[in-house]
Structure 1
Amino acid sequence: MYRYLTEFNTNNLPFEKIDTIIVGAGLSGLTVAKYLVKLGIKPLIITKKEIGISNSFLAQGGIATAIGKDDSPELHFLDTVKAGKGICIENNVISMVETGLEEVINLINEGLEFDKDCKGNLKLTKEGAHSRSRILHIKDKTGYYMTKFLFNQIKNKIYLITGYFIDEILTDENRFIGVVICNKSLRKVIYAKSLVLASGGYSPIYLRNTSAYKIGGDIIGNAFRAGIYLKDMEFIQFHPTALYIENQPAYLLTEALRGEGAVLVDEKGKRFIDELKPRDEVAKAIYKKYLNGEKVYLDLSPIVKKGISIKERYPTVYKLLKTYGLENQINKVPVSPAAHFSMGGIEATSYGRTSVDGIFAVGEV
């Protein structure tokens, strides 16, 4: 195996030096940047496109956290490991449900406003494999608003480079020393003390995927060539309900729709699965229908019967339906599974440390 994909001499390339590099500007990367800023470090964020082109930005349904009165981190933990079918690293799950709750409370105290009812209580919805309603949301653009909120907190305290790819990760005796970045016209070296990989997963290796434009999983190749260990690459989560229009992208239809009553039906209008089972089970049930030559639809009419307006509660979904002339056909929205989330990827400790000194991995990567 060649260490680098292309030949180059770092001595002949323009260079600069920085303390810490973060690759990716989704929620994970921005959160790391936020805490580095608190420590007095001004990190450099590198992203292929402008801020807003990330999987976080596209996240619709909301964020799961055990904040309800009938909920607890212990219940959230049990739901998670059950859905994980014995594969989860339990100590990491404990850390996620406990610190995740703390982080959400911190964001609320800092001014992030999730949807509330007329009495000022947080609105919580239910999604697959959760035993409680624990999904906080901001309409159906939760990721959009959270990303903007975090970026606005730190935008004047970071360095930002957009429009560049990571060409190669540079190491010396298993220690990170820098990256080679490039765009269509320029290649240069940035030397740094540490590198945080937060660039999204590799689900776009599948034709039907819900990832943001420019997310391609290429950083996995960079990491592998740099000697970083990978793990469980075969595990990719398929979201059960992506809009199915022939020869069109697989636009996500948030699971929150099913949490608020939408049902999956076959061509005869009959339900065939508990819509709130874990995603892998629901996706397999839908896929089996397609293997038998049948189509599957998402029926949104139960939501409307509850007095909930699709246009107001789910403006992103409504806009999508209108684009394809389906806004008046809410009882028969065609769906099929699409690759959604990379469950495997770079192997890291619960603190994000990888097998190469000075390189960390956070989030979906």
Structure 2
Amino acid sequence: MSARHDLLFLLWMIQLSCVFNFTAADCECGYSSTIGSSTMDYVFTDLLESDFLHIANISLDTDWRPQSYNVTAEASRGAYGTAFSVPNVVSNPIANMASFSGPGSLGGDPGLQFLVDGGIPKSGYVGCAEMDSARTDMLWGTYRAAMKLTPVPGTVSAFFWYFNDSMEIDMEFLSEQWVFENNTFPVNLVLQSTASVAAGYNAAGTGNYVVTNLPFNPTDGYHEYRIDFIPGNVIFYGDGTVLAHMNTSAVPTMAGHLILTQWSNGNPLWSYGPPATAAIMTVSYVKAYFNSSLLERQTAWEMRCKDGNALNAICPIPDQTTAPSVLNTTDNTTALPYFFSNDDNKTANQTVYHSLGLAVVKRGETWFAQPLVFTIFLLILLLLL
């Protein structure tokens, strides 16, 4: 056999090893976490990890969709309407991909900024910001976002899971409340349900609404806000501390998506405002580990998970028990966030955003594992040999 044929044979063997995945990948059966006080591990098959400290342009990230729409004052039940616009979602990454130290490229706190315009709007609409996950197949899971909230009174900042107005899991932060609460920091934890919709979207009398104080100042830096969502149960956390546990029939049963937002409409019973000056909420990451409602994702998991008891087949999800830092600290092992997608071989068959590129790639595969790309490569090689 000629040297040319030897080379072609070797390349085809590499291609086959990639396509048929002869070597097992870590985490091929999923990602596990304890939920609330349970000693039992829950296993989630899919993940979405977004390191906003190092994503240069959120409009190029197909995992997320900045929103553009208006809501009238009447529809929003406020003194003003809300105008959600793409320019109010601003990427402010750290230039050095290997660094977790600020500031961002625009100055100030690095990450993804959600801006609410300051002052009385001449148009009658307050400029606001919202971003939704592209995936809408998120069912049971553990959903986590690291955010630094605004100290400017008059906005609502929120991290929530959403299917529709009667199936919604909210963590909402009213910056106006902090002014009047004697230096405490309430968070509003809400399950929207058919009962709250019937009450005019007011969950206060449904038993699925809890106001509790955060164990930290949410404006002094990034803190992780977490929602664990399993059948019949929702648990809310702040930096790993349980804030509330809701065990109720109001827990959603359909798959949904994630939303990050900051807004104001001048409603004196909720958002207050608009803020006197521009208010910025900054997000450093979102990490979601969940079970997909899509048949193709379930089938993909069944194909790759051959032995759930194999070594490293299921990877434990590290809990963030301290405030996630964007600065160098003396305890980086707990302060700096961990991403499976930054490690080789831990996201096989998972679609994750590549922070260095402009498109979605599948970690656990090399570029030549794509049959069309590899065929073109071979044809070029044949011409050169």
Flag whether TM exceeds 0.5 (same fold): no
TM-score normalized by structure 1? 0.25
In terms of fraction of residues, the more strand-rich structure is: 2
In terms of fraction of residues, the more helix-rich structure is: 1
Which gives a bigger RCO, structure 1 or 2 (Cα 8 Å, sep 6+)?
2
